[in-house]
A and B are shown apart, each in its own frame.
Chain A
Amino acid sequence: MKVLNFDAKPCERVREQLDAYLSSELMVETTATVLKHLEGCPDCSRELESRQRLRDALRRAVDQELPPEHLGETIHRRLQQTRPRFTWPFRGSSPSRSWMLALAGLAAVVLVGVTFQHGVALRRGRQLVASVLTLGVSDHLNCAIRGHHYPDVARPASELRAQLGPEYAPLLPVVEQKLPGFEVLEAHICTVPGSPRKYVHFIARGRGTILSVILTRREGEALPSDVRLVAETTGGVSLYENHLGGMDVAGFETNDYFGFVVSDLGQDSVVQLAAVLAPSLRTQLDGG
């Protein structure tokens, strides 16, 4: 006979969250609660595996439905007969060449789909990475993009240092030096509605877009150490990447903080910028 060491309600609450957990839609705090419960609850772990099995089976079955071989060619032919409603910048190029260039343009902005990988540990690691990176994306979207909490002309450095306070003001020159080609417009401490978590937020402009460098204290959470989840390691700092909420995000951790670089520059660019920033920010934060 099986002895259950929990009452029904925690399981009920966790099961309500399992699908959102599998879709990486939970905030990091909720993910941590779910993971903690799963560790001690075989019934809910089985339920999670059932739901994952159903998704795997659904994806596998739908994937069997391949488009007819002639479809790509038919579309290509029809496109050659149709003029686009914009002026193509390459004069004298044939419709076929134009289409190939348009495709290349499309492909350049295409976000790489998530490659589904099997294995519970890897899957849980990915969920955890996504939920941590969501912290940075949420603040960027809430404060910089939707809130537009930055001026059109950069605030004076003295004002930014005052807004950051003595604890974080020394980070300002680090961010400025390590983001060549970007201008730091704003730096402040902010929060996202519904959460008491504080974010140290630098908002910069460059390469025709807005970029955020965000730091927030770790509250017992940690990024997984599985090397398969690490996008790049630089100066002893592991970088993690994802595309969430329409934004590209790269994240890393120090002894006490999570750090994020968030923008719509493309994943490679965001990771490259984070690779330059992360070691210096870690030195400053851990040594301070």
Chain B
Amino acid sequence: MPHLAALYKTAKFLAHEPSDAEDLVQEVYLEAWKSFHRFEPGTNCRAWLFRILFHRLHHLRRRQLKSSKVESFSSPAEPDTLAATPPVPQDIRDEDILQALAKVPRDFREVVLMADVQEFSYKEVAETLSIPMGTVMSRLSRGRKLLRQELAEAARSYGIRAGNEGESA
């Protein structure tokens, strides 16, 4: 099934409950199948499936918001308090980075997943999420910084030497 794994992984890290990911991906393919006539040959099929995924995610969050399963619909705008970019630890364990990713607010997490994991262009991310390019870039910058901050904190708690520490003093 084309793009099943990519859609599932993205859904799993963005859904409020990881178990929602399976349902979401099923809905994506059903929606794509039903509205295949709307797909324009020559355009990007993968991006089209991801647009459906984000539409379904949006819909799911609304439902959960109504039933108070999630705290707020959108991550609150936070002031950029990260003056310096934290160093990246030398040894990054999968579980550490996944935990760090989970702590990044959803609005930032989704652009990081789309651009840095799924390797969509900034323009494709903007179109898929229906947000301006400038917003994509600012969220990416903030999201990557937050991820580094979370990782650096995890590394400090384990006493792991960060990548740039001690090298450029």
Contacts and interface: CB of A to CB of B under 8 A. Distances in A.
A110 B45 contact: yes
B168 A46 contact: yes
Chain B binding surface, main DSSP class: helix
Contacts of A61: 94-95, 97-98, 101
Contact of A109 (B37, B45, B113, B140): B45
Contacts of A82: 30, 33-34
Interface stretch (B21-29, B59-67, B70-78): B21-29
Given A54-B92, A76-B1, A79-B30, 15 more contacts: A2-B168, A23-B122, A53-B92, A58-B112, A65-B13, A71-B25, A74-B26, A75-B4, A78-B29, A82-B30, A106-B45, A111-B45, A111-B46, A209-B42, A245-B121
B144 interface: yes
Nearest to A116: B119
Interface in A156-191: none
A25 B121 contact: yes
A95 to B, nearest CB: 10
A153 interface: no
Contacts of B83: none
A86 B37 contact: yes
B17 interface: no
B83 to A, nearest CB: 13
Contacts of B101: 58, 61-62
Interface residues of B, number: 59
Chain A binding surface, main DSSP class: helix
A51 interface: yes
Contacts of A74: 22, 26
Contact of B35 (A20, A53, A63, A85): A85
Contacts, number: 152
Interface of A: 2, 15, 19-20, 23-25, 43, 46-47, 50-51, 53-55, 57-68, 71-72, 74-76, 78-79, 82, 84-86, 99, 102-103, 105-107, 109-111, 113-114, 116, 209, 243-246, 264-265
A50 B152 CA distance: 12
A20 B115 CA distance: 10
A23 B163 contact: no
Interface of B: 1-6, 8-9, 12-13, 22, 25-26, 29-30, 32-37, 39, 41-47, 85, 87-88, 92, 94-95, 97-98, 101, 112-113, 115-117, 119, 121-124, 137, 140-141, 144, 147-148, 151, 163-164, 167-168
18 contacts: A23-B121, A53-B92, A53-B163, A58-B97, A61-B98, A61-B101, A62-B101, A65-B8, A65-B9, A67-B5, A75-B26, A78-B26, A82-B33, A84-B36, A109-B43, A110-B3, A110-B46, A246-B123
Given A43-B168, A62-B9, A19 B144 contact: yes
Contact of A67 (B8, B121, B122): B8
Contact of B141 (A19, A111, A245): A19
A79 B33 contact: yes
Nearest to A59: B117
Given A51-B88, A79-B29, A244 B121 contact: yes
Given A86-B36, A109-B41, A54 B147 contact: yes
Across chains A and B, which 9 residue pairs bring their CB atoms closest together, nearest first? A86-B37, A67-B8, A61-B94, A264-B42, A57-B92, A50-B88, A61-B97, A110-B45, A72-B1
B22 A84 contact: no
